[in-house]
Structure 1
Amino acid sequence: MTAFRFIPVTPHPILGPYIAKMYVFESSGRLPALDRKLIVPNANFKLTLTYRNGIMATIGGKPFIQIENKLSFTGLIDSPVMLDPQEDTQTGTIIIEFNPLGAYRLFHLPYAEVKNSIVGMEDLIGNSAEELQSQLAEASALNLKLRILQDFLIKRLEKSAPDAIYDYCINRIADSKGMISVAQLEKDTGYSARWLNRKFSEHLGTGPKNLSEIVRFKQFYQVYSTGVKLQNLKDHIYQLYYDQSHFLRSFKRFTGATPTDLQNSLNELAAKHYTS
């Protein structure tokens, strides 16, 4: 049986406001063939270093490979992801998940183009990524790799400035658990939906409505993925969705399955990845 674990890492205090979570994933090999290796969208961006073995991922039916000792960036995901180690051997991966406030402050990227994609960092930021990868490959100790990565991010953060209107909208969406409307954001900010969508596309890769849908589903899935039976979550569902059909459409969109089918095949990896 494949053994795996998620090792949480506390980010540097300067990076803390921009990082949703930071951890090391270790696995003794591939997961059993019949396991559903599902990763559900959580509104975060990911910077990944596979320092031992590689990772294979499928997003919306499109395959991606994260190569050993290479940095990759995952844009905003709004469809289910399937992943597994590239080879059936020991795997080690550092994963830094940036919240929607963090990615644009650290990387000036074409976010709409990297949505639902995993892209090598050399293709996005060029020489600085290549230099960083060389430093990481030479660092034998895991703690040193983590320090090098965070030092790199802090230097990038120091050169950027916040976008007050965008940050306000992101915080309103988070505080409302995805329940705020675009019309309310228009009212709060004094900017039109068209302007807000353009701003979100620039910093996030998608609009505020889509982000709200992901955040809303996240509230449900955080409870569901712990093994709570669906019949015990009806009150939770109706706090977040208009009716059952609205909920089921959202569930199928973000997981690729029905609630019953997924609960019968949900494995420890899918639950721990989302809740750890």
Structure 2
Amino acid sequence: MYPMNLQLYPIVPKLRPYVKLICTMDCDNEADTHHIRVLPDTCVEVFINYTDTPVAIIGNELHKRSIVTFRMSRPMDVQMRKGSGCLAICFFPGMAYKFFRPPMHMLSDTTTALEDIWTDLAATIEDKLANVQNNNVRAAIAQQHLTTFLAAGQHDQQVANCLQQVELLEKPPTVKQLADSTGLSQRQLSRRFQHVVGLSPKEYLRVYRFIRSLRYLKNYPASSLTEIAYKSRYYDQAHFIRDYKDYAGHTPGEVVLSQRILY
């Protein structure tokens, strides 16, 4: 489904709480990859281009240089270009803000040129990665720069605690419960969430429920869609189907059958 050479790299200890994965993606085929649909996962991902080839077509737009995708609540259609090569850095939900100055809600559901965010540093990192031929070295160079960002970055422990609650609790908390756990009002928490995560707490909880259902689809392929909806804490099939149409552009059954939807 995704014909390219993909290689994962170990993440240095300082970055492990924030970085979900680092990999290189080299499209060595004689043709562009097929379009695939990438579903929202509330993650931010950087793609640093180390070739002269445009990195990808996303939607209908050709991206020639390095980009950042902010996959909050909308699917995106991606086609990698033949001959392209890039280093991808995917951040855990709510952790990318430490490495970017603009508030996350200003970038939510966008694909943005890396130079528009990291300015001159984007070109510096591109040049460094282009001038080495070893992908392990490329991963090390990128992590050195990320560690520098981290040293000067901001931190919001209250939002981090809320994200951890959502991840760990079997029954997802309500917005009120999250606010109560922080001592903030719901309005204050919403502002903090939008700044750090890119979504309000209510929006994040809804997308997270959808993401949880995708995990069940992947891990329990023998389960019925009714069982998946129940395990994912959907009140009824109508809400389950509505979220899939909103976040995937397809019904749950269509997502299961598709060979070109990535989740």
Q: TM-score by structure 2 length?
A: 0.88
* % same residue: 23
Structure 1 partner of 2:175: 182
Shift of residue 232, structure 1, vs aligned partner: 2.4
Structure 2 partner of 1:245: 238
Distance 2:178 2:201 in 1: 9
Structure 2 partner of 1:17: 17
Aligned residues: 258
Q: Residue 98 of structure 2 contacts residue 154 of structure 2 at CA under 8 Å; is this kept in 1? A: yes
* Structure 2 unpaired stretches of 5+: none
Distance 2:71 2:162 in 1: 17
Distance 2:146 2:14 in 1: 10
Structure 1 partner of 2:133: 140
Distance 1:177 1:4 in 2: 37
Structure 2 partner of 1:235: 227
Task: Compute the RMSD of aligned alpha carbons.
Answer: 2.3
Shift of residue 187, structure 1, vs aligned partner: 1.7
After TM superposition, the structure 1 = structure 2 runs for residues 110-259 of structure 1, keeping only pairs within 5 Å, are 110-176=103-169, 179-225=172-218, 228=221, 232-239=224-231, 240-259=233-252
Structure 2 partner of 1:46: 45
State yes or no: 1:107 paired with 2:100.
yes
Measured against aligned partners, the alpha-carbon deviations of 1:110-138 in whole angstroms (never above 9, x if no partner) come to 32221111111211121222222222222
Distance 2:246 2:99 in 1: 29
Partner letter of residue 65 of structure 1?
Answer: L
Go from structure 1 to structure 2 and tell me whether the alpha carbon gap of 1:66 and 1:85 turns closer, same or farther (over 3 Å shift): same
Go from structure 1 to structure 2 and tell me whether the alpha carbon gap of 1:178 and 1:15 turns closer, same or farther (over 3 Å shift): farther
Alignment counterpart, residue 75 of structure 1, candidates 54, 70, 75 = 70
Distance 2:255 2:158 in 1: 38
Corresponding residue SS for 2:33: coil
Partner letter of residue 72 of structure 1?
Answer: I
Shift of residue 98, structure 1, vs aligned partner: 0.5
Partner letter of residue 66 of structure 2?
Answer: L
Shift of residue 49, structure 1, vs aligned partner: 1.5
Go from structure 1 to structure 2 and tell me whether the alpha carbon gap of 1:76 and 1:84 turns closer, same or farther (over 3 Å shift): closer
